[in-house]
């Protein structure tokens, strides 16, 4: 697995580390004011113990059906992304999570009795998923998204557990975490939880449709979309009042996906959204690269049309957040006029964006920026009216140039080479500058320093 693949996990851990620092600083204050502070927390999605929508009773299904459902749910929860360091050893953990304060390794969740969770009882497993507490009673770090998994019904958690017991047990102990004090103090998470975690199962809203409730259950629960798409507070907890209003992960912008017509995806059709989650492409709007490509590959491409439709119904219903955007990300740019052909064949000896674009990008995306090969996933997409070039910052564009695109789904393999190893920071900044001015949002300026920072982002 590539280093980039793990970047989101690392980023979350880095967030956690700074969260721990903040927590440490407020420790004294929190001691006196815990109850008051907890009561003043912003409203959250209603949670309590209850039966979920669209779920078959466990006692009416066979073991095989239970395992199959568990496999589906494990995909919806994307467990494999964080718990697989080596694709040949699924769920054996060991994904190194580097933070400025040391390294943490994800645990082995195969059913190996000694190194995995083979000796865990169902109650242990439920407590981890619902409360963020490990077998020995220790607090788990919120890099494990129990903040969302707490909403998953007991039935569904047990189905995931049933599936995990069928995957090959692998004897493998991830290296010991190497975190320095105070970040190795798990009990600090109890304090973090006070402010940022509210335990409890999803409660369907009887006034809303079954589709809405199913979508809310997935987005706010298993699929944990907000882990990346919701902005964070000073303690690095999720700002639930700005749900899905846009977050950051490993240098990437995880865009605003609320229904706002300018800031979010309110102007996308239902089919655009479904197609994006199922294939990684919303033709003529957006392509999934980086962490979102991984989400599509491991998780959303496997969801049923009904579940994808439910996700879309729910996304349409969250409060719209404009974020100051005057027009949609994917509304910028016109095809380059043919005067740009004049620079073809001229000496490319300067870090000139237009020349570098013609030399490195135009063979696939066309010198006009209109792309080539149609609009199917894997074709060379237009750079005009594309969210990566029209965003208010050049982060994702820069990261796509640095790392390329490597997204293999059931339908197709989308491949763009990584230019990080062959182009300098200044050259990449020049290309990004040309692309945003010519084909995208001219406000999205960048610099060689910014490119250097994004090269290091994890
Ligand atoms: C975003 C990354 C991420 C995802 C997604 C994720 N996990 Fe984890 N998980 C972690 C990390 C990191 C830890 C270790 C936390 C710690 O050490 O405190 C962990 C710990 C656990 C543990 C505790 C194991 C132990 O030995 O203490 C269990 C059980 C678990 N995860 C199950 C799951 C399941 C089931 C899913 C999918 C529904 C899942 N995880 C998805 C990152 C993730
Ligand atoms: C691991 C982090 C992560 C998770 C989890 C995640 N996303 Fe994303 N998402 C991103 C990033 C990063 C991008 C930008 C990708 C790019 O520019 O190529 C993105 C892009 C998108 C876009 C395209 C927006 C645009 O304007 O181009 C949509 C729609 C989307 N995500 C929906 C979802 C939904 C729905 C979920 C939950 C099922 C989800 N995402 C889960 C990180 C994530
Ligand atoms: C060998 C062909 C090829 C070359 C050369 C190439 N690309 Fe791409 N590019 C692709 C493919 C394929 C995709 C992804 C298509 C998909 O998502 O289905 C892509 C996607 C993109 C995206 C959209 C990513 C997103 O997150 O939305 C941008 C922006 C982009 N390329 C810019 C560039 C730039 C700038 C260069 C030159 C430095 C370049 N490409 C060179 C083939 C190429």
- 274 and 352 co-located in one domain: no
- 263 and 156 co-located in one domain: no
Ligand 2: residues whose CB is within 6 Å?
8, 219, 223-225, 227-229, 249, 252, 254-255, 257, 265, 273, 276-277, 286-292, 295, 300, 311, 329, 387-388, 396
The whole-number pLDDT of residue 345 equals 45
Q: Using CA atoms in the order 61, 65, 67, 69, what is the torsion angle rounded to 10 degrees? A: -100
- 429 and 348 co-located in one domain: yes
Asked if 404 contacts 386 with a C-beta cutoff of 8 angstroms, the reply is no
**Would you give the distance in Å from CA 230 to the centre of its chain?**
10
| Ligand 1 center–CA 154 separation, angstroms | 17
| Ligand 1 center–CA 94 separation, angstroms | 11
Tell me if 110 is assigned to some domain.
yes
Q: What does the DSSP assignment read for 371-422?
A: -BS-SSTTSB--STT-HHHHSSSSHHHHHHHHH-EEEE-SS-EEEE---TTT
Question: Could you tell me which of 323, 290, 329 has the C-alpha nearest to residue 407?
Answer: 290
- 124 and 192 co-located in one domain: yes
- 406 and 295 co-located in one domain: no
The whole-number pLDDT of residue 104 equals 80
The whole-number pLDDT of residue 28 equals 31
The whole-number pLDDT of residue 184 equals 85
Tell me if 107 is assigned to some domain.
yes
- 323 and 413 co-located in one domain: no
- Counted domains in the chain: 3
Asked if 261 contacts 115 with a C-beta cutoff of 8 angstroms, the reply is no
- 291 and 376 co-located in one domain: no
- 325 and 377 co-located in one domain: no
Alpha-carbon span 108 to 238, nearest angstrom: 27
Alpha-carbon span 422 to 274, nearest angstrom: 35
- 346 and 431 co-located in one domain: yes
Question: Could you tell me which of 426, 407, 424 has the C-alpha nearest to residue 416?
Answer: 407
Alpha-carbon span 321 to 261, nearest angstrom: 9
Q: What does the DSSP assignment read for 72-97?
A: HHHHHTTHHHHHBSSTTSTT-B--EE
- 345 and 285 co-located in one domain: no
Ligand-binding site membership of 302 (annotated): no
The whole-number pLDDT of residue 220 equals 97
415 lines ligand 3 (CB under 6 A): yes
The whole-number pLDDT of residue 180 equals 79
The whole-number pLDDT of residue 3 equals 39
Asked if 253 contacts 291 with a C-beta cutoff of 8 angstroms, the reply is no
Q: Which of 313, 330, 347 is the last residue of a domain?
A: 330
Tell me how crowded residue 352 is: count the other CB atoms within 10 A of its CB. 18
Question: Could you tell me which of 339, 401, 390, 389 has the C-alpha nearest to residue 368?
Answer: 339
Tell me if 242 is assigned to some domain.
no
Q: Which of 198, 217, 236 is the last residue of a domain?
A: 217
> CA geometry: angle at 21 spanning 19 and 22, to 5°?
65
Protein residue with its CA nearest to atom 7 in ligand 2: 292
- Per the listing, tokens 């390794």 go with 105
Tell me if 267 is assigned to some domain.
yes
Q: Which of 330, 351, 370 is the last residue of a domain?
A: 330
**Mean pLDDT per 10-residue segment, the chain (458 residues):** 45 52 43 31 36 50 94 98 94 81 87 97 98 96 93 98 97 90 86 93 97 98 97 88 94 97 98 97 95 97 98 98 95 81 46 90 94 82 96 97 96 94 97 95 94 92
Ligand-binding site membership of 267 (annotated): no
Alpha-carbon span 297 to 295, nearest angstrom: 6
Measured in residues, the chain has a length of 458
Tell me if 198 is assigned to some domain.
yes
The whole-number pLDDT of residue 235 equals 79
- Per the listing, tokens 């950051």 go with 248
Tell me, what CATH number does 373's domain have? Answer: 1.10.760.10
Tell me if 38 is assigned to some domain.
yes
Question: Could you tell me which of 409, 396, 257, 392 has the C-alpha nearest to residue 318?
Answer: 257
Ligand 1: residues whose CB is within 6 Å?
9, 74, 77-79, 81-83, 106-107, 109, 117, 125, 128, 134, 140-141, 143-145, 160
Query: pLDDT tens digit string along 187-204?
Result: 988 998 999 999 999 999
Asked if 45 contacts 318 with a C-beta cutoff of 8 angstroms, the reply is no
The whole-number pLDDT of residue 21 equals 52
Alpha-carbon span 121 to 230, nearest angstrom: 33
- 124 and 143 co-located in one domain: yes
The count of C-alpha atoms lying within 13 angstroms of the C-alpha of 136, restricted to the half-sphere facing its C-beta, is: 4
Q: What does the DSSP assignment read for 20-62?
A: HHHHHHHHHHHHHHHHHHHHTSPP---B-S-PPSS---GGGS-
- 148 and 116 co-located in one domain: yes
Identify the domain containing residue 7 by its residue range: 3-217
The whole-number pLDDT of residue 231 equals 95
Ligand-binding site membership of 228 (annotated): yes
Tell me if 204 is assigned to some domain.
yes
Alpha-carbon span 280 to 289, nearest angstrom: 8
pTM, entire model: 0.90
Alpha-carbon span 290 to 288, nearest angstrom: 7
Alpha-carbon span 261 to 267, nearest angstrom: 5
Alpha-carbon span 381 to 371, nearest angstrom: 5
Tell me if 224 is assigned to some domain.
no
Protein residue with its CA nearest to atom 23 in ligand 3: 287
The whole-number pLDDT of residue 38 equals 31
> CA geometry: angle at 413 spanning 412 and 418, to 5°?
155
């Amino acid at each position: 697995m590539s280093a980039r693949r793990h970047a989101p996990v690392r980023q979350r851990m880095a967030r956690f580390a700074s969260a721990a620092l903040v927590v440490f600083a407020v420790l004294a204050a929190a001691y006196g004011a815990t109850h008051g502070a907890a009561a003043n927390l912003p409203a959250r999605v209603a949670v309590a113990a209850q039966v979920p929508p669209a779920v078959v009773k466990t006692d009416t299904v066979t073991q095989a059906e239970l395992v199959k459902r568990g496999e589906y749910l494990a995909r919806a929860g994307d467990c494999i992304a964080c718990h697989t360091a080596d694709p040949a050893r699924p769920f054996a953990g060991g994904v190194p999570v580097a933070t400025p304060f040391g390294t943490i390794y994800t645990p082995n969740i195969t059913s190996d009795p000694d190194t995995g969770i083979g000796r865990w009882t169902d109650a242990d497993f439920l407590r981890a998923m619902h409360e963020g507490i490990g077998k020995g009673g220790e607090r788990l770090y919120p890099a494990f998204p129990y903040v969302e998994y707490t909403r998953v019904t007991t039935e569904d958690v047990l189905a995931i557990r049933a599936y995990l017991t069928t995957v090959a047990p692998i004897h493998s102990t991830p290296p010991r975490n190497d975190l320095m004090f105070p970040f190795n103090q798990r009990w600090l998470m109890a304090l973090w939880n006070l402010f940022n975690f509210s335990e409890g199962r999803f409660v369907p809203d009887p006034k809303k449709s079954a589709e809405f409730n199913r979508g809310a259950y997935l987005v706010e629960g298993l699929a944990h979309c907000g882990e990346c798409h919701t902005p964070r507070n000073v303690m690095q907890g999720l700002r639930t009042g700005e749900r899905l209003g846009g977050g950051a992960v490993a240098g990437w912008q995880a865009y605003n996906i609320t229904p706002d017509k300018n800031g979010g995806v309110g102007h996308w059709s239902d089919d655009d959204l479904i197609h994006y989650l199922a294939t990684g492409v919303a033709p003529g709007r957006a392509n999934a690269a980086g962490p979102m490509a991984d989400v599509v590959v491991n998780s959303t491409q496997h969801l049923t049309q009904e579940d994808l439709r439910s996700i879309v119904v729910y996304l349409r219903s969250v409060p719209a957040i404009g974020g100051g955007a005057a027009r949609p990300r994917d509304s910028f740019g016109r095809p380059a006029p043919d005067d740009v052909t004049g620079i073809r064949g001229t000496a490319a000896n300067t870090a000139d964006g237009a020349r570098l674009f013609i030399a490195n990008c135009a063979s696939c995306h066309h010198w006009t920026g209109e792309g080539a090969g149609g609009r199917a996933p894997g074709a060379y997409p237009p750079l005009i009216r594309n969210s990566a070039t029209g965003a208010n910052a050049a982060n994702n564009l820069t990261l796509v140039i640095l790392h390329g695109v490597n997204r293999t789904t059931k339908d197709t393999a989308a491949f763009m080479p990584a230019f990080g190893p062959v182009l300098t920071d200044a050259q990449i900044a020049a290309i990004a500058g040309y692309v945003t001015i010519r084909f995208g949002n001219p406000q999205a300026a960048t610099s060689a320093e910014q490119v250097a920072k994004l090269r290091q982002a994890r």
